[in-house]
Amino acid sequence: VTQRAFILFGALFVLFVAIGWVLGAANITLLLVQSFAYALIALGLNIQWGYGGLFNFGIMGFLMLGGFAVTFISFPINAAFWNSEGPYLLARAVAAFAAGTLLVFGASRAHRIGIRGGWKTALTVLAWALAYLVYRSQIDPAVAYIEGSAGWIGGLGLHPVLGWLFGGVLAAGVAYIVGRICLGLRTDYLAIATIGISEIIRALLKNMDWLTRGTLTVSPIPWPTPLPQALQAQGVTITDSFVLARLGFLAVVLVVLVAIFFLVQRAYGGPWGRMMRAIRDNHVAAASMGKDVKARQLEIFILGSVMMGIGGAILVSFGQIYDPGSFQPINHTFLIWVMVIVGGAGNNWGAVFGALLIYMAWMISDPVAQALFYTISNWSTDIGWGAIPEIQSRASQMRVLVLGLVITAALRFAPRGLIPEVVRRER
Amino acid sequence: LNELIFFFNTVVISGVVLGSIYAVGAIGVTLIFGILRFAHFAHGDMMTMGGFIAFLLAAAAAAAGIVAPVPTGFLVLPIAMVIAAVLALGIDKGFYAPLRARGARPVTLLIASIGVTLIIQGLIRLFFGSSSYSFFDTEIKQLYRIEVPLPDVTRTINFTQPQLLMVVCTALAVVALHFFLTRSRLGKAMRAMSDNPDLAQVSGINTKLVVRVTWIIAGSLACMAGTMLALDVSLKPDLAFNIVLPIFAAAIVGGLGQSYGAIAGGFLIGFAETLAIFNWSILLRPLREALPFDLPNNLAVVPTEYKLTVAFVILVIVLLWRPTGIFKGAST
């Protein structure tokens, strides 16, 4: 860590204290938990983009998967579903899905029994169509039944931390599929392909009411640490209970973040990190040195996505509500990109710094813009131009503009980020 | 035959309209990629911006009391396109040109285009809030009904006046672009630069001028596509994110850098989307007696909510099967 990083982190600390002074302890602890969760996600992107040079515009999708995972694992059991025909119908749909997967897989192996060329293509298309039909024929009645009777399948009632882990696992599974399909593509194609996949994940989770309650949203999702209400029951005052409960959650998040940061930082310095940088800087040369470029890229894509899944799960369980409709590419994909670019791609300290700084700027630019607008509005009323209409809703849009200006300025004046990557060279 | 006409109304007409919007948008994306070698993600927001410029002009025209036989949106379209072209030039000057001068990689330009997206979107939301607008608050959409001179046919072929004008406008734009690219000196220079920028520069082509012309064309076409989309449905500040995916899919399917490919890709995606959400059981209903099984009520390939995924699935298939697009696209 350089002197510059020390100064910047010191300035950030002062900024946090100042904001905390203005907003109060309850608000600053809320912002801290969220910004550290974002730091985890930014680390995930930093692995993919900073270490591996892989473009991922589908962060939102992985965050949604993490959120779904924690909802599914930790939300209390829905007895109405388990006592109905639902599980049986769903099991049949899963079986149909498995059969379809087998069919498609079999078709992809058809060359082993001598079916080649155009016939194999035709067989593959046929297998996909058949698998889709079989799956639809089973899932449609199951969905109609579940949504008609129990509403949705509910959760499993397990510990939230298990949900975070499952978020990582789920993200890894999807990242494996995405990576297998897309990683061979050029950067531009990879960018659009990942955007597309995250949009598909959003469309699915938003519309599968039987699985996620869709736009009806799920809440309250339990915390791994005591809730403010639980503390209040023990006789803590209301203001203190919020601060204490959030500090407890913050401690858990910090443990996760520090552990992952340590591992990621060690990996960067080790042979694995060197290999990744070699692949990023010149994958042709790396391949000629005997590195399996595709497999390594898949590996790093999955690792980064796991961190995104865990981060998304943490954010959802902290917010206690899972609302698939609230996920937006701006808030959940591009915000993270700005964090990593501004902080410094390739440098973990930079990624964490960028995450904390940008999240704070993102959150406070709304009230600041509001105050600014009220001042201008008063002034324009005084000189007879009339007030600005709908200040509240306009001010909240201001942060999108701020985000755009920040990333543009960063690319222009600090293209390697505020805490740039330090490439050590042996002389 | 009533069913066939219903099919024509819901699939062919909306497919053509959607396809022309996608095609006009995708041409811009593909031109920018061909000349400047980066995927311009802000294109969707340039479309929204164009839509809002046209909306403001239309409102101004209505306030000035101008009445025309066509919807005011089309009347002001040329002026809006000029303004959008100037803005596109300004965006290039302000955001991309400094990065290019520094010799930044195309990936950096791609990230910069995200910044531009956010800025445009932030500005639009700042001024227009997040509600949706319609061009047809004060005027009416004229509906055309064409009787089909066949016995037993009760349905008519329906389409609206804006839809007809949109298709005409697209055809005009495509023909104009074709003549520009093949007949004019500048158009030939553009194609040369898209094929090989270094060779083009060495052979005395003014690359700076070509870049400017690219932005002018892309900006005005984006404005046109955005206005058409706004005329067909409604104008929303967050229109861009829903449109940028199919447009990129169209451009990639057609082969990035290929203008004709973009047109073909646009129509392909447009038709695929409308075909996929069409309820096929309506077409099969007359054959109900002949079929060996009961006809379900809804036989759409995908439910309507998943319309967006269709474009993407096509994209993935094309990328796997022919990675440079149907028409050979530019590499790197």
- With a CB cutoff of 8 Å and minimum separation 6, the contacts of B9 are B155, B157, B158, B159
More confident: B145 or A231: A231
- Which of A334-338, B176-180, B307-311 has the least mean pLDDT? B307-311
- Give, for B143, the enclosing helix (H) or strand (E): strand B143-146
Of chain A, the percentage scoring pLDDT greater than 70 comes to 99
Given a contact cutoff of 8 angstroms between Cβ atoms, the answer to whether A355 and A341 are in contact is: no
Which residue in chain A is spatially nearest to B33 when comparing CA positions? A188
Average of per-residue pLDDT across B88-117? 89
Helix and strand totals (H; E) in chain B:
15, 2
- Contact assignment for A412 to B98 by CB distance below 8 Å: yes
Identify the pLDDT of residue B4: 77
Candidate from B41, B108, B130 with C-beta closest to A415: B108
Write the pLDDT tens digit of every residue in A245-293. Answer: 999 999 999 999 999 999 999 998 889 988 998 898 888 899 998 889 8
Chain B residues with CB-CB distance to A358 below 8 A: none
More confident: A185 or A59: A59
Nearest partner of B241 among B308, B315, B307, B318, judged by Cα: B308
Candidate from B122, B245, B320 with C-beta closest to A400: B122
Q: Which residue, among B111, B238, B322, would best test binding to A if mutated, counting the most A CBs under 10 Å from its CB?
A: B111
Nearest partner of A415 among B332, B100, B208, judged by Cα: B100
Three-class DSSP category at A146: helix
- Which of A32-41, A55-64, A165-174, A177-186 has the least mean pLDDT? A177-186
Report whether pLDDT(A427) > 60.
no
Identify the pLDDT of residue A302: 94
Identify the pLDDT of residue B267: 92
Average of per-residue pLDDT across A143-158? 84
- Contact assignment for A408 to B119 by CB distance below 8 Å: yes
Average of per-residue pLDDT across B53-77? 82
Chain B residues with CB-CB distance to A390 below 8 A: 129
Identify the pLDDT of residue B332: 37
Identify the pLDDT of residue A176: 93
- Determine the Cα–Cα distance for residues A11 and A357; give it in Å rounded to an integer: 10
CA distance A241 to chain B (A): 36
Which residue in chain B is spatially nearest to A331 when comparing CA positions? B118
DSSP A327: -
- The contact set of A with B (CB < 8 A) is 55, 181-182, 185-189, 191-193, 195-197, 199-200, 203-204, 206-207, 329-330, 334, 337, 341, 390, 393-394, 397-405, 407-408, 411-412, 415
Candidate from B129, B249, B309 with C-beta closest to A200: B309
- Determine the Cα–Cα distance for residues A223 and B181; give it in Å rounded to an integer: 62
Q: In this structure, how many other beta carbons lie within 10 angstroms of the beta carbon of residue B82?
A: 15
- Work out the pLDDT band at A39, boundaries 50, 70, 90: very high
Show the tokens assigned to B53.
């410029």
Candidate from B38, B95, B129 with C-beta closest to A394: B129
Report whether pLDDT(B305) > 70.
yes
- Contact assignment for B306 to A196 by CB distance below 8 Å: no
Chain A residues with CB-CB distance to B115 below 8 A: 404-405, 407-408, 411
Given a contact cutoff of 8 angstroms between Cβ atoms, the answer to whether A65 and A308 are in contact is: no
Nearest partner of A200 among B59, B277, B292, B313, judged by Cα: B313
Of chain A, the percentage scoring pLDDT greater than 90 comes to 32
- Contact assignment for A403 to B309 by CB distance below 8 Å: no
**Mean residue pLDDT across chain B:** 83
Given a contact cutoff of 8 angstroms between Cβ atoms, the answer to whether B30 and B269 are in contact is: no
CA distance B52 to chain A (A): 17
- Contact assignment for A186 to B332 by CB distance below 8 Å: yes
- Contact assignment for A188 to B241 by CB distance below 8 Å: no
- Contact assignment for B125 to A402 by CB distance below 8 Å: no
Identify the pLDDT of residue B326: 72
User: Is the overall model pTM greater than 0.95, yes or no?
Assistant: no
Residue pairs spanning A and B at CB distance below 8 A: 125
Identify the pLDDT of residue A165: 94
Average of per-residue pLDDT across B86-90? 94
Identify the pLDDT of residue A190: 83
- Determine the Cα–Cα distance for residues A52 and A299; give it in Å rounded to an integer: 10
Average of per-residue pLDDT across B64-81? 81
CA distance A393 to chain B (A): 7
Write the pLDDT tens digit of every residue in A380-398. Answer: 888 777 777 777 777 777 8
* DSSP E strands, B152-192: 157-160
Average of per-residue pLDDT across A110-119? 78
- Contact assignment for A330 to B114 by CB distance below 8 Å: no
Which residue reads 């302890």 in tokens?
Answer: A25
Chain A residues with CB-CB distance to B108 below 8 A: 411, 415
Report whether pLDDT(A325) > 50.
yes
Which residue in chain A is spatially nearest to B122 when comparing CA positions? A401
- Give, for A306, the enclosing helix (H) or strand (E): helix A293-319
Identify the pLDDT of residue B60: 86
CA distance B218 to chain A (A): 18
Q: Which residue, among B127, B130, B253, B319, would best test binding to A if mutated, counting the most A CBs under 10 Å from its CB?
A: B319
Write the pLDDT tens digit of every residue in A205-219. Answer: 888 888 888 788 888
Average of per-residue pLDDT across B315-322? 77
The CA-atom distances, in angstroms, between B49 and each of A56, A177, B21, B214 are 26, 36, 15, 18
- Contact assignment for B305 to A329 by CB distance below 8 Å: no
Identify the pLDDT of residue B291: 64
Given a contact cutoff of 8 angstroms between Cβ atoms, the answer to whether B22 and B270 are in contact is: yes
- Contact assignment for A404 to B121 by CB distance below 8 Å: yes
Buried b or exposed e, range B217-254, using 16+ CB within 10 angstroms: bbbbbbbbbbbbbbbbeebbbbbbbebbbbbbbbbbbb
Chain A residues with CB-CB distance to B315 below 8 A: 192-193, 196
Report whether pLDDT(A103) > 50.
yes
- Work out the pLDDT band at B331, boundaries 50, 70, 90: very low
Of chain B, the percentage scoring pLDDT greater than 70 comes to 91
Identify the pLDDT of residue B212: 92
CA R_g for chain A: 24
Report whether pLDDT(A140) > 60.
yes
- Determine the Cα–Cα distance for residues A364 and A308; give it in Å rounded to an integer: 24
- Contact assignment for B114 to A193 by CB distance below 8 Å: no
Q: In this structure, how many other beta carbons lie within 10 angstroms of the beta carbon of residue A101?
A: 12
- Determine the Cα–Cα distance for residues A303 and A40; give it in Å rounded to an integer: 12
Most confident of A72-86, B74-88, B132-146: B74-88
- Determine the Cα–Cα distance for residues B249 and B251; give it in Å rounded to an integer: 6
- Give, for B144, the enclosing helix (H) or strand (E): strand B143-146
- Contact assignment for A400 to B245 by CB distance below 8 Å: no
Which residue reads 């940028």 in tokens?
Answer: B244
Write the pLDDT tens digit of every residue in A174-193. Answer: 999 888 888 877 777 888 88
CA distance B324 to chain A (A): 10
